[in-house]
Each structure stands twice: as C-alpha cells, then as structure tokens.
Amino acid sequence: MKVYLAHPFLDMTYGRELQAKIEALGITVLNPFQRNEQVVYEAIIANKEVFGATHSRNIVEGDLRLIEQVDAVVAICNDKASIGTHMEVFYASRILRRKVFVLYQKSFPVKVHPWYEYLAMNYSTEA
C-alpha cells in the first residue's frame, strides 16, 4: 500500500514523525515536502517572497501527480491553516475517489468540519 501524507508546511516536523510511524507499518509514504526543489521553496518562504507562476505550477502539479500514484491519503488537519492540505483531500477524495484518512486535531466549534465529515474517515488521535 502507498499513501500520500497531506500536511501543513508549518507542521513538517510532525509530518516526518507521522511518516516514520506509518512506514513502520510497512506502508510506503509519499511526502510532498521531500522533493528535490524543497530547499528552493523554503528559501522563498524564509525571504518572504512570492512563489510566482512557475513555482506555483510546479508545486501543485507535482503534488497532484504524487496523489495520483497512491492508494489513499493521510491528512493532518490542525490549527496550522493549510489550504494545500484541504485541496489535496478534496482532489483525492472527490476527483480520484481515493480513501482519505484525516488526523483531525482542530479546535473548532464542531467536532469535525462538515467537509471532512463527508469526504474522509476522521480520527482525533494517531491510534
């Protein structure tokens, strides 16, 4: 089995920790932040620059191609806002009809946002 790990840029450390736990189960994990160009992208962010059309296209198209290669998506949804994670979940679930498992850790007025309730299997802990 192969999964794509959708998670916020601001949570890359936790993403790597969760990736190791998933891989320990014998599952292959495609992590979008483990790409050759990541150093370039992180420099752009650190310098508070704009990605621009070419970098944006490369990031999005690269992530979409990775999602197309997997059996399922595991997404971290927490208080570190990530439009990318939300888009990846939608693409995998609604467009590709892949299973989506969400580690849902948001403090929100409802237990799980309706979009995640509808599109994914939701969990509030790693267990």
pLDDT digits (tens, 9 = 90+) for 3-39: 999 998 888 899 999 999 999 999 999 999 888 776 7
As given in the structure block, the two tokens for residue 38 are 């990541």
pTM of the model as a whole: 0.86
As given in the structure block, the two tokens for residue 115 are 């979009």
Q: What CA–CA distances, in Å, run from 119 to 7, 17, 35, 62, 100?
A: 16, 25, 27, 22, 7
